[in-house]
C-alpha cells in the first residue's frame, strides 16, 4: 500500500527571512521544491542520476497563495500531493503550515520533464512514471 500524501519539515533560518521580519516570498518556492525532491527520493527517484542523461524536472507553471507569514525559528510542515501525472509532466499540490497548525501558504505547480540539451519536454523514464502513478 502506498502513501499518497507526503510531509516534510523545514526550519526557518536567517537566510530565509527579510527586513519585514518574515520569510521572503521567493523562499517558499525553495521549501516547496525541497519537499518535492524528498518525496521523489523516497520513491526511489534520485534526480542527479537523470541529470547525467541530460534530463530533469523543470517548473512550467505555478500559482501561490500566501495567507500568513512564517518567521525566524518556525518549524514548518510542507504537505504534498500529486493531482495529475502525464507522460511528460505532473501537477503537485502543496501547502505549508507552521508549528501551531496555522496555514501559511498553498501552491499548485506543474512540472515538466525536459531534455535539457534541447530545452524541450520529453517522456519520463518508465520507472519515474510508474512511481509517480502509484502515489497520485
Distance between CA atoms of residues 46 and 115, nearest Å: 17
Single out the residue of 77, 79, 93, 116 in contact with its own copies (rule: CB under 8 A).
116
> Least distance in Å: CB of 81 to its own copies?
20
Q: Which stretch binds its own copies (CB under 8 A): 31-39, 79-87, 91-99, 122-130?
A: 31-39
Task: Find out whether 80 and 108 touch, Cβ atoms under 8 Å.
Answer: no
Task: Find out whether 92 and 106 touch, Cβ atoms under 8 Å.
Answer: no
Please identify, using beta-carbon distances, which residue of 85 and 104 lies nearer to its own copies.
104
Single out the residue of 43, 62, 88, 129 in contact with its own copies (rule: CB under 8 A).
62
Single out the residue of 1, 2, 101, 119 in contact with its own copies (rule: CB under 8 A).
119
Distance between CA atoms of residues 102 and 45, nearest Å: 31
66: which 3 cell numbers? Answer: 500566501
> Is 18 annotated as catalytic?
yes
Residue 119 backbone zone (phi > 0: left; psi -120 to 50: alpha; other: beta)? left
Distance between CA atoms of residues 76 and 9, nearest Å: 6
**Annotated catalytic sites, by residue?**
18
Residues forming contacts to its own copies in the complex (CB under 8 A) are 11, 13-15, 17-22, 24-27, 29-30, 33-34, 37-38, 41, 46-48, 51, 56, 58-66, 68-69, 71-73, 116, 119
Amino acid at each position: 500500500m502506498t502513501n499518497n500524501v507526503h510531509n516534510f519539515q523545514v526550519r526557518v533560518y536567517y537566510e530565509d527571512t527579510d527586513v519585514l521580519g518574515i520569510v521572503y516570498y521567493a523562499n517558499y518556492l525553495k521549501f516547496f521544491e525541497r519537499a518535492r525532491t524528498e518525496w521523489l527520493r523516497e520513491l526511489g527517484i534520485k534526480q542527479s542520476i537523470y541529470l547525467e542523461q541530460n534530463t530533469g524536472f523543470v517548473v512550467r507553471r505555478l500559482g501561490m497563495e500566501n495567507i500568513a507569514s512564517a518567521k525566524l525559528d518556525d518549524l514548518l510542515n510542507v504537505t504534498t500531493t500529486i493531482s495529475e501525472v502525464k507522460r511528460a509532466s505532473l501537477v503537485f499540490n502543496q501547502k505549508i503550515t507552521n508549528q501551531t497548525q496555522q496555514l501559511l501558504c498553498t501552491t499548485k505547480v506543474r512540472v515538466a520533464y525536459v531534455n535539457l540539451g534541447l530545452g524541450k519536454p520529453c517522456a519520463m523514464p518508465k520507472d519515474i512514471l510508474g512511481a509517480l502513478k502509484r502515489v497520485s
